[in-house]
Structure 1
Amino acid sequence: MFKVLTLPESFDSRPLREALWAEKIGHQITLSQARPTEAASGDDAESHEGSQELWLADPEQLPRVIAMLERQSRGEPLRDASAGTTTRGTASSQSLITLMRQTPLTWLVGLACCITVLFQYALGQAAVFEWLAIVPFELVGSQHIAPEPLSVTLSGEWWRLWSPSLMHFGVLHLVFNLLWLWVFGRQIEAIDGGWRFALVVVLSGVAANLAQYATGSVLFGGLSGIDFAVIGYVFIAARRRPTLGYQMQRSLMIFMLIYLVLCMTPLSSAIGLGAIANEAHLGGLLAGLALGLVLPRRTRRVTP
Structure 2
Amino acid sequence: MRITQFTHLRLAQAFVDYMATRGVTLRIEQEGGYTLWLDDESQLSVVENELNQFIREPDHPRYQAASWKTENTDSGIQYVRPAGPPLKERLKEMAGPLTIGVSVASILVYLLIALGGYAQAIAWLGWPKDSMQHFQVWRWFSHVLMNFSLLALLINLLWWFYIGGRIEKQLGSGKLFTIALISALLCGFAQSRFNGFWFGGLSGVDHALVAYAWLHAMRDERSPLNIGGGLMGIFVVWVVLEATGVFGANTGLPSHIAGLLVGLAMAFVDTRQKKR
TM-score by length of structure 1 reads 0.62
Cα separation, 2, equivalents of 1:246 and 1:123 = 39
For the Cα contact (< 8 Å) 2:29–2:83, is it kept in 1? no
Give the letter for the 2:92 counterpart: T
Q: CA deviation at 1:298?
A: 7.8
Q: CA deviation at 1:265?
A: 1.6
Correspondence 1:88-127 to 2 at 5 A: 88-89=82-83, 91-93=85-87, 95-96=89-90, 98-99=92-93, 103-127=96-120
Query: Compared with structure 1, are the counterparts of its residues 221 and 295 closer, same or farther at alpha carbon in structure 2 (3 Å cutoff)?
Result: same
Residues 1:133 and 2:134 are matched in the alignment: no
Give the letter for the 1:111 counterpart: V
Cα separation, 2, equivalents of 1:85 and 1:186 = 33
- As a proportion of its length, which structure holds more helix? 2
Give the letter for the 2:132 counterpart: V
User: Percent identity of the aligned residues?
Assistant: 27
For the Cα contact (< 8 Å) 1:260–1:281, is it kept in 2? yes
Q: What's 1:247 paired with? A: 226
Give the letter for the 2:254 counterpart: E
Unaligned runs of 5+ in 2: 1-6, 10-27, 34-54, 60-66, 72-76
- 1:172 alignment partner, one of 128, 140, 151: 151
The CA deviation string for residues 216-252 of structure 1, in whole angstroms up to 9 with x for no partner, is 4220111000000100010011112231321212122
- 1:193 alignment partner, one of 172, 177, 180: 172
Q: CA deviation at 1:160?
A: 0.9
Instruction: Let me know the Cα RMSD of the aligned residues.
Output: 3.8
For the Cα contact (< 8 Å) 1:133–1:164, is it kept in 2? yes
- 1:287 alignment partner, one of 252, 255, 262: 262
The CA deviation string for residues 45-89 of structure 1, in whole angstroms up to 9 with x for no partner, is xxxxxxxxx9xxxxxxxxxxxxxxx9xxx9xxxxx9989873634
Unaligned runs of 5+ in 1: 1-12, 16-21, 28-53, 55-69, 75-79, 137-147, 300-304
TM-score by length of structure 2 reads 0.68
Correspondence 1:147-186 to 2 at 5 A: 148=130, 151-154=131-134, 156-186=135-165
- SS of aligned partner of 1:169: coil
- SS of aligned partner of 1:135: coil
Cα separation, 1, equivalents of 2:184 and 2:105 = 14
